[in-house]
Amino acid sequence: MALKGVPAKSLTQMYVTMQRIRIFEEKTADLITKKEIFCPCHLYTGQEAVAAGVCASLRKDDYVLSTHRSHGHFIAKGGDLKRLMAELYCRETGASKGRGGSMHIASTDCGLPGSSAIVGGTIPIAVGAALGFKSQNKDSIAVAFFGDGAACEGVFYESLNFASLKRLPVVFVCENNLYSTHMPISTILADTAIYKKAEVFGMPGVKVDGNDVIDVYKNAKKAIDNARRGGGPTLMECMTYRWRGHVGPNYDLDKGLRSEAELRCWMNKCPIRSLERLLLSNKILTEKAVARILKEAEEEVDGALKFAKESLRPPSNDSELVRYLFK
């Protein structure tokens, strides 16, 4: 069975992915509030459809380069929740061996070689990875995730130009959540239609409803398939909204940057609830199946938390760190 041209199996898997991201992020917010996690965390709550929709068409040998808001990308690409939680607790068993924290998640095991707190910092790295794939005659592709604020960085335009010039297998995914740190994007960019910036570089640019995982999936699959066939890069601008503040568990309402009415409006457009209603009404899932998925995700996150708390901290001596970095 297919719905809107998307196989039911794919829809169900994306729903599971989105729930796993949401439950992990909300648990993390609670742990930060309780002062159990101290490293700065930029939470992905509200943007789950973008990571799930894009990564659903990727293979394990494809690369994803992420940002400071990396948890959703890591989970959607198949990363281990235990290793993610352990990294937030800065433990040796973490994805980055407890040395990177939330903003520097890395795991070659699932095809996420790195994340960076530098705005736009991983965009050229994704282009370099794509150049490497092409040079080695591999049909793997690279995906660069970045926020709307990265469209202000010169490296964004340099990367688009080089990728188009060399027809590299890379997909640029801008997660436009309307705020660059604490500034509305409309106060930063003279032209806020980021997807249109692809036109001058001779590549496709598409604006996507980032809260509709089906819309994300269809456009991402088209871009990924095109890149894999040698058709070159695509720029996707996914319109979405982060529920939590720029960093940490709060909602930034106290800063006077956005209103509670705006936040509630976007919460009512919850990407997970929208997909859930669709799956239930079309009998792809039952209420019992939804309850089971939620229970399994909650148990997985609880297991990850237990694993993190029981894991050892990294060794403090420099020789161990050097041996890890240069092994």
- CA distance linking residue 5 with residue 238, whole number of Å: 20
Pair of tokens at residue 71: 């948890």
Please name the residue that has the structure tokens 């001058």: 200
Q: Is 62 exposed, middle or buried (0-12, 13-18, 19+ CB in 10 A)?
A: buried
Q: What distances in angstroms separate CA 118 from CA 45, 84, 104, 148, 245, one per listed residue?
A: 21, 20, 10, 13, 18
pLDDT number for residue 323: 57
Q: pTM to 2 decimals?
A: 0.92
Query: What is the chain's Cα-based Rg?
Result: 19
Distances (CA, A) of 198 to 187, 219, 237, 298, 310: 21, 15, 10, 40, 47
- Mean of the pLDDT values across residues 184-204? 91
207 contacts: CB under 8 Å, gap ≥ 6: 193, 195, 237, 239
Domain boundaries, the chain: 2-241+256-325
- Structure confidence by residue, pLDDT tens digits, 283-319: 999 999 999 999 999 999 999 999 999 999 888 765 5
| Mean predicted confidence (pLDDT) in 79-102 | 93
Give the class (CATH, top level) of 2-241+256-325.
alpha beta
Q: What is the mean pLDDT of residues 261-272?
A: 93
Q: How confident is the model at residue 320 (pLDDT cuts 50, 70, 90)?
A: low
> What's the pLDDT at 253?
84
Average pLDDT, stretch 19-31?
Answer: 97
List pLDDT tens digits, range 127-146: 999 999 999 999 999 999 99
Q: Which residues pair with 176 in a beta bridge?
A: 239
Give the pLDDT confidence of 35-78 residue by residue, as tens digits. Answer: 999 989 999 999 999 999 999 999 999 999 999 999 999 999 99
- pLDDT given for residue 179 in this prediction: 83
The reported pLDDT for the residue numbered 191 is 87
